[in-house]
Amino acid sequence: MVTPDWPRPVVHWEMVVRDTERQADFYRQLFNWQIAEGTIMPISAGLGGPEPGPGGHLRAGGHPGISLYVQVRNLHESITLAQALGGSLVREPFAPAGGSMLGIILDPEGNRVVLVQQ
């Protein structure tokens, strides 16, 4: 049973790419994105949409794809519900240095979603 709750906003996104410089150049030219240099290449939130809008980043990896970071009230309850609905847990909850608690799931079709503890 689903209980009344609140909309879960996308608070961040990640694009994993094989060639960070090529992809950064592509998106800089295509969308005029401001992309910083580094291992994790932050991308500022865009203009014109709901403000401030979610920012994102590019990073190198062998399996290209896009991940949404979605804010949830209770990380453990959300993981349990995702599994009950046919999703699967990829990574147990963890907190990167100085960051929010995160948990990684796959939806029933294998799309990666990072749950962010509110």
Q: Count up the domains in the chain and report the number.
A: 2
Contact 93, 76 (CB under 8 A): yes
Provide the CATH number for the domain around residue 12: 3.10.180.10
Q: In angstroms, rounded to a whole number, what is the distance separating the alpha carbons of residues 20 and 15? A: 10
pLDDT for the residue 80: 93
Specify whether 51 is located in the same domain as 22.
Answer: yes
Give the tens place of pLDDT for each residue, 70-109. Answer: 888 899 999 998 999 888 999 999 998 888 899 998 888 7
First to last CA, the chain: 22
The helices-and-strands tally (H runs, E runs) of the chain is 2, 7
Give the tens place of pLDDT for each residue, 36-81. Answer: 999 999 988 765 555 666 788 899 988 888 888 888 889 999 999 8
Q: What DSSP designation does 99 have?
A: S
Query: Is residue 4 scored above 80 in pLDDT?
Result: no
Query: Is residue 28 scored above 90 in pLDDT?
Result: no
Contact 3, 47 (CB under 8 A): no
Specify whether 44 is located in the same domain as 80.
Answer: no
What distances in angstroms separate CA 48 from CA 12, 13, 52, 53, 77, one per listed residue?
A: 17, 18, 9, 9, 34
pLDDT for the residue 75: 93
- State which residues form the domain around 117: 73-118
Contact 18, 61 (CB under 8 A): yes
Specify whether 55 is located in the same domain as 97.
Answer: no
Residue scoring higher pLDDT (28 or 118): 28
Tell me what the mean pLDDT of segment 16-28 comes to.
87
pLDDT for the residue 49: 54
Q: What DSSP designation does 54 have?
A: -
Residue 68 inside a domain? The answer is: no
Q: In angstroms, rounded to a whole number, what is the distance separating the alpha carbons of residues 19 and 102? A: 26
Tell me what the mean pLDDT of segment 8-22 comes to.
85
